[in-house]
Amino acid sequence: MAGEVNIRASLARPYLAAAATPQVAYLLIEVTPGQVMTQVRAPVNVCFVVDRSGSMKGDKIDRVRRATIRAIEMLDAQDVVSVVIFDHRTEVLIPSTPVSNPAELIDRINRVRDSGGTRIAPAVEAGLREIDKGPSQMVRRLILLTDGQTENESDCLRRAEDAGRRNVPITALGVGKDWNEDLLIEMANRSGGTADYIDRPEKIVDYFQTAIQRAQATTVQNASLTLRLVQGVLPRAVWQVYPLITNLGYRPISDRDVNVPLGELETGTGRTLLVEVLVEPRPAGEYRIAQAEVSYDIPLLNLHGEKSRADIMLAFTTDAGLTAQVNASVMNIVEKVSAFKLQTRALQDLAAGDVAGATQKLQSAVTRLLNQGEVDLAQTMQREIQHLQQTGKLSSEGQKTIKFGVQKTVRLSDIKQEE
């Protein structure tokens, strides 16, 4: 069978100068399930692990109930769901069960009330146990939502590592401003999932919906990209840029070949990577600088070890008009990655007590965000720079907005509009 996975490569600059010095080239590689995969819907085994502590009282707990109900309504009898609620205690509200009687499940969710403190690790452990009860071939997800600090953060990280070993990515969501974003980010990273910041309770429903939609669209498993570079082309960095910016790194497998694990691919989105390479001088002409090969499995179609390939071409020229040409969309991604790297280094400076260095890097990030049209995020960052200069630190809310906002190449609102 062909056409399950497509590869498209675009260059930030389609022409490099036929000069005497090495040059950096940026390649945008899009790996997406093909049109044939739009007819395939993955069965999902999902556990919602939700905070019902006293700080969730009012609108937050109400929105969580609505969000969980809406998510269950998106599932059917081929799917498995479980719900774990926690404060300083853990309760399995809905044990792992097929979604054959949604009304009964919804009735249980409507009874959830706020109380107590916050202990995340035992709740995640209980959630993983419930997921383990379902068939292993299903797409497995744990959706964690909290609004508070927890004790025993090291236990949370160990449970996240357990999730990663079980192939259960954690979608870690923090609502409000009084939770530890570094903990949730690290839990997501260790499990192979994602973390995000929900600044207002009314957005919880959209985030839960999106998490379920993405799980149902996950049809390709065990995807892996191998870049076979020609002599004179050296890899420097590999970044995931959609939907979140992440430094993926790479694993050398020979003198010129590198491998990048991609994991799961979602129909309609897939994975988009920005690859930075150093290209040695060449005379004018067009050259193949690399071949991209993606291997993958599609268990739902009983396909294993399938491969797709695409050659990557680059032209060298002495024409100054051609070397000035740029691919605006790819260059925009390059700028977004640059802004992300700046804010990351700024936060590292701040943690080391270098307020001046952090301020300088954040100001540079503001300039890049404005160039990308990210006006709201740039204004938030500018306010935080003023706060930093006055107090020597960032506000809790501002720090979360910066960390999560700069990481996104596509906003949740943009995804909703595309749908």
**Measuring CA to CA, how many Å separate 213 from each of 43, 47, 67, 379?**
11, 14, 13, 31
**Residue 209, token pair as written in the block:** 């919906």
Q: Residue 12's pLDDT is what?
A: 96
b/e map 312-326, b = 16+ CB within 10 Å = bebbbbeeeeebeee
Residue 416 has pLDDT above 50, yes or no: no
**Residue 380, token pair as written in the block:** 């938030």
| pLDDT above 70: percentage of residues in the chain | 97
Residue 264 has pLDDT above 60, yes or no: yes
Is the omega angle on the peptide bond into residue 243 within 30 degrees of 0, that is, cis? yes
10 Å CB burial of residue 60 (0-12, 13-18, 19+) is: buried
The arithmetic mean of pLDDT across residues 92-114, rounded, is 94
Q: Residue 327's pLDDT is what?
A: 94
**Measuring CA to CA, how many Å separate 206 from each of 42, 209, 250?**
20, 5, 33
φ/ψ of residue 270, rounded to 5: 65, -145
Q: How would you list the strands of the sheet with 246-247, edge to edge?
A: 5-11, 23-33, 271-279, 233-242, 246-247
Please choose, from the candidates 147, 67, 75, 26, the residue with its C-alpha nearest in 3D space to the C-alpha of residue 397.
147
d(C-alpha 342, C-alpha 365), whole Å: 6
Q: Residue 249's pLDDT is what?
A: 86
Q: Crossing angle, helix 396-407 and helix 328-351, to 10 degrees?
A: 150
**Residue 328, token pair as written in the block:** 């605006």
Please choose, from the candidates 209, 156, 188, the residue with its C-alpha nearest in 3D space to the C-alpha of residue 403.
188
Mean pLDDT over all residues of the chain? 92
Residue 116 has pLDDT above 90, yes or no: no
Q: Residue 2's pLDDT is what?
A: 65
d(C-alpha 372, C-alpha 184), whole Å: 28
Q: Residue 1's pLDDT is what?
A: 54
N-to-C CA span, the chain: 28
Residue 387, helix vs strand vs coil? helix
Residues in CB range of 128: below 8 A, 6 or more apart: 47, 142, 159, 162, 163, 166, 168
Higher pLDDT among residues 414 and 355, named by residue: 355
Residue 195 has pLDDT above 50, yes or no: yes
Residue 413 has pLDDT above 60, yes or no: no
- Does the pTM surpass 0.85? The reply is yes
Q: Residue 414's pLDDT is what?
A: 41
Residue 3, helix vs strand vs coil? coil
d(C-alpha 350, C-alpha 294), whole Å: 40
Higher pLDDT among residues 411 and 371, named by residue: 371
Task: Label residue 170 by pLDDT band (50, 70, 90).
Answer: very high
Polymer length in residues for the chain:
419
d(C-alpha 91, C-alpha 105), whole Å: 15
Q: Residue 114's pLDDT is what?
A: 84
H or E segment to which residue 375 belongs: helix 375-391
